[in-house]
Amino acid sequence: MSNYLITGGAGFIGSNLANHLLTNHKVVVIDDLSMGSITNLNNSDKLTFIHGSVTDYDLMDKVLTDYQFDYIYHLAAIASVADSVDRPLATHNVNFSSVLNLIESVKIKQKGIKRLVFASSAAVYGDEPTLPKKEESVIRPLTPYAVDKFAAEKYVLAYNNLYNVPMSAVRFFNVYGPNQNPSSPYSGVISLLVNQFEQHKSGNKADFNIFGDGEQTRDFVYVKDVLNALLLVGTSEQSKGEVYNVGTGRSTTLNTLINTISEILDVELPIIYKEPRIGDITDSLANIDKLKSLNFEAEFDIKAGLTVYLERVKETS
């Protein structure tokens, strides 16, 4: 049994990770519940939930003094790119300053740590059009969110190299699955779509706005594959001081995505085509060769991932 700290552990990816680990391990979750929910977490006597902010440095200091962790997954962030454009200072505190504070405290207080894994984003690649993205592709962060993720990622890897505190980073592409919160217009497109499909199915008036012609592509990766990647990166020796793309290596258009959900649910959702979003990138795709060198295989293609996800939605609604 190991001891884990998951910041942002009541959120989408964090709660999926926490629930998976709770079967065999002790997990401390810190979350301010700004986006996450306690109901995402399974009941377990191995879970300690701390309602607080990673920007509360006294709290973070206390947690890192009271517990010794084997693994830390730093997932807490304001994950909305649009929010970072509206509120660069506030989001910088969470998305960058909290990371530097955490790794500095870890360096001093967590002498036995086996790994800290930081959640970065494919947003760091920006709009440079060459695909697929390799870890060493051109980096062109275009928003406060992306700049903060890239800077934080670099700090994490520098701490690994300078101070010999084992740390790694991952760049998520478009993750989807259970517990993704569809409450904001900038929530992940699959969570929004599934929500609208469900509304339509239950007889409520619902449609969906596609920004652009729907031919834009994304590398959608199912959260179970993401957990697998997080555990591989967290435990492998060769991943120390390294950053990894986390995707499937396959891309899907928005139109195909919608048709696939329609097919699985046997429901047609009215679609409205709107002007493209300003700053939207047309295509995104990960090269995952580096992750594959840790024995990663994406188990879920888009159809398989959506099928399990929609099954879960049906069970819980």
H or E element that contains 199: helix 189-201
Contact of residue 22 among ligand UD1, ligand NAD, none (CB under 5-8 Å per partner type): none
Q: Which of 2, 42, 48, 55 binds ligand NAD (CB under 6 A)?
A: 55
Strand ranges for 212-278 from DSSP E:
217-218, 220-222, 243-246, 252-253, 271-274
Q: Of 50-58, 104-112, 211-219, 298-306, which segment contacts ligand NAD by CB under 6 A? A: 50-58
Q: Of 154-162, 173-181, 252-260, 286-294, which segment contacts ligand NAD by CB under 6 A? A: 173-181
Q: Does residue 145 have an active-site annotation?
A: yes
* Span 172-231, contacts to ligand UD1 by CB under 6 A: 173-174, 186-189, 192, 209-211, 216, 218
With respect to ligand UD1, which residue has the nearer C-beta, 69 or 125?
A: 125
| Whole-number Å distance between alpha carbons of 8 and 59 | 15
Q: Per-residue contact track with ligand UD1, 86 to 125, x per CB under 6 A?
A: -----------------------------------xxx--
Q: What's the token pair of residue 164?
A: 């010999």
Least distance in Å: CB of 282 to ligand UD1?
Answer: 8
User: What is the residue whose two structure tokens read 């934080």?
Assistant: 152
Instruction: Verify binding: residue 49, ligand UD1, rule CB under 6 A.
Output: no
With respect to ligand UD1, which residue has the nearer C-beta, 165 or 233?
A: 233
Contact of residue 265 among ligand UD1, ligand NAD, none (CB under 5-8 Å per partner type): none
With respect to ligand UD1, which residue has the nearer C-beta, 27 or 243?
A: 243
| Whole-number Å distance between alpha carbons of 18 and 285 | 27
Least distance in Å: CB of 86 to ligand UD1?
Answer: 15
Q: Of 32-40, 57-65, 272-280, 303-311, which segment contacts ligand NAD by CB under 6 A? A: 32-40
The values of phi and psi at residue 181, to 5°, are -80, 120
H or E element that contains 7: strand 3-7
With respect to ligand UD1, which residue has the nearer C-beta, 49 or 186?
A: 186
Interface with ligand NAD (CB under 6 A), residue total 30
Least distance in Å: CB of 179 to ligand NAD?
Answer: 7
Q: What's the N-to-C CA distance of the chain in angstroms?
A: 33
| Whole-number Å distance between alpha carbons of 155 and 99 | 8
Instruction: Verify binding: residue 277, ligand UD1, rule CB under 6 A.
Output: yes
CA distances 166 to 153, 235, 254, Å, are: 13, 10, 38
| Whole-number Å distance between alpha carbons of 260 and 179 | 20
Dihedral (CA of 307, 132, 218, 238) sign: positive
Catalytic residue from among 73, 145, 159, 309? 145
The values of phi and psi at residue 115, to 5°, are -170, 140
| Whole-number Å distance between alpha carbons of 300 and 317 | 23
CA distances 18 to 7, 24, 40, 235, 293, Å, are: 10, 11, 10, 16, 25
State the catalytic residues. 145
Interface residue list for ligand UD1 (CB under 6 A): 79, 81, 121-123, 173-174, 186-189, 192, 209-211, 216, 218, 254, 277, 280, 284
